[in-house]
Structure 1
Amino acid sequence: MSLIVYIVLAIVIVALIIGLYQKSTNAICMSKKRLDGKTAIVTGGTAGMGLETAMDFAERGARVIIACPFQREGEDALKLITDKTGNKDVVFKLLDLSSLTSTRKFAIDIIDTEKRLDILINNAGVGTVDKTLTDDGMSFIMQVNYFGPFLLTLLLLPLLNKTGTISEPARIVNLSSISHNFGYINFNRINDTKYLFRLQFYSNSKLCLILFAHELSKKLQGNVVVNCVDPGYVGTRIFDSAGTIFGPILIIFGLLFFKTAWYGAQTSIYAALDSEAGKVSGQMFKNCQLSRAKRSAYNDETSQKLWNKSISLVGLRSEELEKCFQ
């Protein structure tokens, strides 16, 4: 047998072992909590895990705002959710996280038109796409996966603060990934576009989301909590970015050996609804239970420095930042 065959067999065996373990540990959010009268935003709520999360919230009676940059996809998802759940209080809004202008426009619209915001799910993200630079001059993957959600979260904080209470805080949930373990923070290259492997951008962005949650949790007053989730390996459309050949293979591979989008969404739902999950902030959840990110994700010096760098890169002025926490 050739070396290539041995390598392929080894990969399949390892995937099977990991897949069997993950399927045996798949958890389901058991919360029966209703969300009548509450409002939730799910970015990327038009496909994959985001769609499953939005569907769950709609079934619980919430006003659900799904957001993505694609009009047709948003309209199709809106119809699917309303038809399946019977909830007519579901709204689609355009949001392009690769654009600071679009992110600000979306946040202003929410602040101006919504009376409350109980849940913000920062679910939207991209994989290892070919596009390297945004119109804002930032790394495309980093802006969509981290800088965009960073800006959006801070701009929506006033409404979250207004809605949440100490006994029932508003919740922010960031979708991280097991790949954060491969991420690292080099502040001289935080917005670089020239890493050898595009997976490095993705891993760095997922680590940044955890550091962001860690730092933000120290600045909140208790009526809002922010946590991260690791959904596990999920066969979603994010792997389309691996190309026309490998993308579909990875999706099928994921569906066969790992999680469906429904299972992948369960920990996000848990972090947004479970009573115990609402008592912690700046933490990581996996398989519907408290988990732990890698050690460096909780470094105070790194998280503060990343916070300052991010504020500068997204163009938040000091007076704007003060209003975010009012």
Structure 2
Amino acid sequence: MLGLIYFIFITSIVAVLVGLWQKNTNVLCKSKKNLEGKTAIVTGGTSGMGLRIATDFASRGAKVIVACPFIDEGTNGRKHIIERTGNEKVIFKLLDLSSITSIRKFSSEILQTEERLDILVNNAGVGIGFDYLTKDGMNFIMQVNYFGSFLLTILLLPLLLKTGKPGEPARIVNTSSVLHNIGVVDFTNINRLNYWYGIQCYGNSKLCLVLFAHELTKRLNNKNVVINCVDPGAVGTPIFNCVGWFLGGIITYFFKNFFKTPWEGAQTAIHVALDKKAGEVSGQFFKNCKLSRAKQAGYDDKIAVQLWEESIRLVKMDQDEVYQCLQPLS
């Protein structure tokens, strides 16, 4: 018993010291870029880091479309952004990434109503504790965190391709995680229930986002759209409520105070969406507002191609539709 208490004490001290070091090394986006006349979509843009990202874009004058599956949260999030920025060009749209039907409806509306799309931030995600299949037959965590974002991105590509110009590409930002390091891509069991620990499934989804960015970069072949991934760090957000409100609240409080607040966690995504040099690379991985490196498996060409093909199958697209999505809107 004494040994356990000693272990917990030492672990707590180390965690606090690491946290204090982290707090003092957090980097903020320095871009002063104005976004007047630009349009951005932020999934999960009504709470946590997504709300801070959307608020930043709105403060720069962008038309910002925030998307989430909850009416109350979306309405309140939109109101919050407008009050903080004075920008009335903020739109809330329902989007459930665990539903192919919802993703297609959302994408169709965007293509019909919007003239341009300069920035797409795939920020929405869920944590652990959701071991069930969606109506589309995919693991809930995998569909929300990866397959849904994959489909959304592909369907919105024609508008992104129309908008991007030489020297001013349209940008896609995928929110990955340090936990992509524990991720694996097991095509036999990728959506299997009662097989993965929740944190492992989460890591798998975040690695898939890295592989997606790698493969889409090759398929776009410098068509004035770039896609990069970010590791926001350990951030205190509502995502931890998946383990229960009490324990989740403790974890959130700890991360906010010793690692990153949602505003601090949003900085790398904002940097990748705005910074000039960040717009000159694609298929890359950023951390703390700097070009970094994902684990080596995230750049495996063979696995990336297999994942692309499996993703196309699972989200029920055919090759003709994919080809059309890789062409700019006329």
TM over 0.5: yes
In structure 2, how many angstroms separate the alpha carbons of the residues matched to 1:243 and 1:3? 28
In structure 2, how many angstroms separate the alpha carbons of the residues matched to 1:256 and 1:83? 26
Q: What SS is found at the alignment partner of 1:193? A: coil
How many percent of aligned residue pairs carry the same amino acid? Answer: 60
Q: Structure 2 unaligned runs (5+)? A: none
Q: How far 1:196 sits from its partner (Å)? A: 4.4
Q: Tell me the amino acid that sits aligned with residue 103 of structure 2.
A: T
Corresponding residue for residue 20 of structure 2: 20
Corresponding residue for residue 300 of structure 2: 299
Q: What SS is found at the alignment partner of 2:120? A: strand
Distance verdict in 2 for CA 1:238–1:203, change over 3 Å: same
Corresponding residue for residue 273 of structure 2: 272
Q: What SS is found at the alignment partner of 1:157? A: helix
Q: How far 1:23 sits from its partner (Å)? A: 1.3
In structure 1, how many angstroms separate the alpha carbons of the residues matched to 2:270 and 2:263? 10
Corresponding residue for residue 49 of structure 2: 49
In structure 2, how many angstroms separate the alpha carbons of the residues matched to 1:184 and 1:210? 12
Q: How far 1:219 sits from its partner (Å)? A: 0.9
Corresponding residue for residue 39 of structure 1: 39
Q: Tell me the amino acid that sits aligned with residue 287 of structure 1.
A: N
Q: What SS is found at the alignment partner of 1:171? A: strand
Q: What SS is found at the alignment partner of 2:230? A: strand
In structure 2, how many angstroms separate the alpha carbons of the residues matched to 1:255 and 1:4? 26
| Alpha-carbon contact 1:67-1:94 (below 8 Å) kept | yes
Q: What SS is found at the alignment partner of 1:256? A: helix
Corresponding residue for residue 114 of structure 1: 114
Q: How far 1:131 sits from its partner (Å)? A: 4.7
Which of structure 1's runs of 4+ aligned residues deviate more than 4 A?
Answer: none
1:230-249 residue pairs with structure 2 within 5 A? 230-249=231-250
| Alpha-carbon contact 1:195-1:201 (below 8 Å) kept | no
| Alpha-carbon contact 2:131-2:198 (below 8 Å) kept | no
In structure 2, how many angstroms separate the alpha carbons of the residues matched to 1:14 and 1:316? 48
Q: How far 1:212 sits from its partner (Å)? A: 0.3
In structure 1, how many angstroms separate the alpha carbons of the residues matched to 2:239 and 2:95? 17
The C-alpha deviation readout for 1:230-279, integer Å capped at 9, x for no partner, is: 00000000000012332111111111211000000000000000000000
TM-score (norm 2): 0.97
- Residues 40-49 or 239-248, more deviating: 239-248
1:1-326 residue pairs with structure 2 within 5 A? 2-222=2-222, 223-326=224-327
In structure 2, how many angstroms separate the alpha carbons of the residues matched to 1:305 and 1:131? 24
Q: CA RMSD in A?
A: 1.0
Q: Tell me the amino acid that sits aligned with residue 94 of structure 2.
A: L
| Alpha-carbon contact 1:235-1:251 (below 8 Å) kept | yes
Q: What SS is found at the alignment partner of 1:245? A: helix
Aligned residues: 326
| Alpha-carbon contact 1:180-1:207 (below 8 Å) kept | yes
